[in-house]
Amino acid sequence: MNIKVKGTDLEITEAIRDYAEKKVGETLKKFNSSSKGNIFAEIELGKTNNHHTNGDNYKTSVTITGLSKNIFVDVVKNDLYASIDEAKDKLENRLAETKDKKKTLSNKISLKFKNLFKGNN
């Protein structure tokens, strides 16, 4: 598993890098126990200025490749660490949805085979 952290209009300190890598890494380890391929995660942290709000907003974008499906999460908050935390939560939800869809599909296929062989007896 490779995790890359980059900043846009924001200096990435070691503490921020470690925090982002830890949060995304924990999530990927939770859902990546049986993956055979190499997973690549790119975390982009940046400072944005929305025209409708006062002050700076922080954007966290996470792109996961190497799974059966690429996953992208994008969050904007007024606190950098809150942005990273919410991106982690959204990433967990997307990974769980993907896992559930695979499980449901395999269950449907298994049921069809069961019914196929059951009908032949």
Assign 57 a pLDDT band (cuts: 50, 70, 90).
Answer: confident
* H-state helical runs in the chain: 14-31, 80-120
> 7 pairs with which residues across the strands?
45
- What is the number of structural domains in the chain? 1
Residue 46, domain CATH? 3.30.160.100
pLDDT of residue 52: 59
Per residue in 42-51, pLDDT (tens digit) is 999 998 876 6
Residue 91 to residue 44: CA distance in whole angstroms: 14
Model pTM score: 0.75
Structure token pair of residue 13: 């300190």
Mean of the pLDDT values across residues 14-20?
93
Helix (H), strand (E) at residue 11: none
Domain around 63:
2-120
Q: What percent of the chain has pLDDT over 70?
A: 82
pLDDT tens column, 88-117: 999 988 888 877 666 666 777 777 777 777
